[in-house]
Structure 1
Amino acid sequence: MKELIRELTEIYGPSGREEVIRNVIQEKIKPLVDEIEVDSLGNLIARKKGPGKKIMLAAHMDELGLMVTFVDKNGFLRFSNVGGITPHILLGERVVFANGTAGTIGCEKIDSWKDLNFQKLYIDIGASDEKEAKEKVNIGDVAVYQRGFQDLGKRIISKALDDRVGCALLIQVLKEIESPANDLYFVFTVQEEVGVRGARTSAYRIKPDYGLAVDVTRTGDTPESETMAVSLGKGPTVKVKDTLIIVHPKIKKIMEEAAEKAGIPYQLEILERGGTDSGAIHLSREGVPSGVMSIPCRYIHTPSEMVDYDDVVNGVKLLKSILEKPLE
C-alpha cells in the first residue's frame, strides 16, 4: 500500500478542486465495484452490492490549500487559507498551483512572531511584476504544499495524509473484500476541510442505514504534547467523540467487537478539537448511526504529516472485519 499512498498524496486536489485526484481514484476502483458515479457536488460514489444493510464509508479526497486573493504591482501574491492552516508553519514553505506554477512563501517585516498572520504573508512565484504574475496565476487559483512522500521504514511522512491515507484504505478494502455481507457504498468526498460538505450531500442521497468515516486523528505521543490517549503504532482508533459527533454506542460496540474477534490492536479516541465526515453523515435525513475509524497522525495540517504503516495495515484489517459480517 505504500506506493498507493505515495501516489495519492502527491496528487493535486485542494478543497473544491478535487477533479484530478477523483479521476485517479475512479480509474483505480472502476473494475472493483458494481456501480460508480460522480454526484453534482463532485463526490465519487462507488457501490459494491451485498444482501445486508446499506453502509456508507467515507474518506475525503480534498487537501488544504491557499487561495490567491490579490496580485500586487511587483508580482507578489496575497492569499487566504482553504481549510485549517496555521500561518506560523508557512514561512519558507514551497507551494504549487494546478498548472505547475511553483512558489515559496515569504513574510513582511514584523517585530514579533505574535504579529504573524495571513495578511503579513505572500507567495513569491519569481515574477517581476503584476503582468508576469497574472500570466501564470490569477485571483481564485489555489496552491497546495509541495512536499514529497518519504518512506522512513515503519513510519511515513507526506503532505495530504489527511485524508489520502483514508482513501488508500478504502481502495485496498475494495481490492480485498470479495463477497460483502452488506450493501456497501464507498464515498470519496469533497470539501471536508471546509465544513464536511461532500459527506452531507452524499449521505442525503444514499440514505444509509449506518455510516463510517475513515480519517486521521491527532496523537498525544510527542514531547510535551497535549494530553490524548492515542499514539502512533498502537493500532487504528475507534472514535468515541469529537467536536461534531458523539459516536452511536451500537457502532462503537460493533467496531470494538470486530477488532477483538480478529485480534486487531485498536485505541479509543476522544478528539477535543476537530471532526470528520461522520459529523455530517449522522445528521442526514432522520439520522444515521455513525462512527469513525481513524489512523493516528502526527503534525496534522502541516506539510509533513506522519503515520505508522502498521496502523494503516491494521486499519484495512479492521474495516474488513467490520464489513464481512451482516450488520443487523
Structure 2
Amino acid sequence: MRFLNGVQGIIGADVPEDPAKAFTIDQLFVDVGASSPTDCPISVGDPAVFERPVMELGSRFVSKALDDRISCAVLIEVLRSVNPGNNELVFVFSTQEEVGIRGVISAAYSVDPDLGIAIDVTSVGDTPKAKMEVALGKGPAIKIRDGGMIADPAVVRWMRRSAEAAGIPYQLEILDVLATTDARAIQVTRAGVPTGCISIPTRYIHSPAEMVDLNDVEKVKNLVLALLSQPIEIK
C-alpha cells in the first residue's frame, strides 16, 4: 500500500479463529514499520492505494483501479477528436460511484441533460464457471440492465444501430448482481432522463489486478465517437 504522503505499508491480518473463513475488516491492518502510535507516520482516515506494477499481456492490460480510470481514459480520447456538430456535449468525470453514485447525482441535476450516457466497466463470463455472456476481446458491451437500472430501450436501439452502421462489434450486457453505474442516477434525475450505458469488459473487477483488452477499449472509444458525431435520434 502507498499513502498520500508517500508512506508505504504492508497489509497484515490477525490469525483467524476459523482459517476456513475469509478475513473480516477488523482483522486487517496496514504495517508501516511503526513501533508505537507516537512514531506512526499515518493517521486514521488517510487515503491509501494498492501499489502494483502495470502489466501488458499481449492485447490485455492489467492494473489496479481500471474501474474506473479506463473509462476516464476513453472519454479523454473522445474529447481529443469528437466533432459534436449541433450536439451540445457535457463530459462529467464524477466521484464516489462505488459508495453510492454520489458525484453524478449533483452533476446530473445541475446539467439537466436531454440524454445520458455512462461509460463504465462490467464483469465478464469468459473464465471457468462464470455465467455472463460478455467476454474480453469481443467489443463494447451495451447495457440492457443491471442491479440498479433498466437501460432505456430506445437508447439501446440507438446504440446498436450506431455500432452496426460503424461496423463496430458489440455485446449485450445483462448484469445479474446487485451492482449498478452512474447511469442509474442520471436516469432518475429531475423528471427522468433517457439513459444508457456502454461497458468495457473487465476481468477481476474490484481487485488490485483488473484486466481489460485494449482492442475493446479502442472500440468503446469509436462507438462513443460514432454516437456523438451524428444527429442523435432516439426512437
TM-score (norm 1): 0.69
Alignment RMSD: 1.0
The percent of aligned pairs where both chains have the same amino acid is 48
**Is it true that 1:265 corresponds to 2:172 in the alignment?**
no
Equivalent residue, structure 1, for 2:215: 310
1:104-123 equivalent positions in 2, closer than 5 A: 104-110=10-16, 111-114=18-21, 116-123=23-30
Equivalent residue, structure 2, for 1:132: 39
- Deviation (angstroms), 1:261: 0.3
- Deviation (angstroms), 1:180: 3.4
Please state which structure has a larger fraction of its residues in strand.
1
1:309 partner letter? L
- Deviation (angstroms), 1:179: 4.1
1:180-195 equivalent positions in 2, closer than 5 A: 180-195=85-100
Taking the aligned partners of 1:181 and 1:272, their CA distance within structure 2 comes to 37
- Deviation (angstroms), 1:115: 5.2
SS of aligned partner of 2:119? strand
Taking the aligned partners of 1:305 and 1:124, their CA distance within structure 2 comes to 24
1:131 partner letter? T
Give CA-to-partner distance per residue, 1:51-90, whole Å, 9 cap, x none. Answer: xxxxxxxxxxxxxxxxxxxxxxxxxxxxxxxxxxxxxxxx
Equivalent residue, structure 2, for 1:149: 54
Contact 1:181 1:324 (8 Å CA) reproduced: no
Give the ranges of 4+ consecutive aligned residues of structure 1 lying more than 4 Å apart after TM superposition: none
SS of aligned partner of 2:211? strand
Equivalent residue, structure 1, for 2:136: 232
- Deviation (angstroms), 1:189: 0.2
Gaps of 5+ in 1: 1-94
1:178 partner letter? N
Equivalent residue, structure 2, for 1:242: 146
- Deviation (angstroms), 1:128: 1.1
- Deviation (angstroms), 1:292: 0.3
- Deviation (angstroms), 1:272: 1.3
Q: How many residues align?
A: 231
Equivalent residue, structure 2, for 1:217: 122
Equivalent residue, structure 2, for 1:16: none
TM-score (norm 2): 0.96
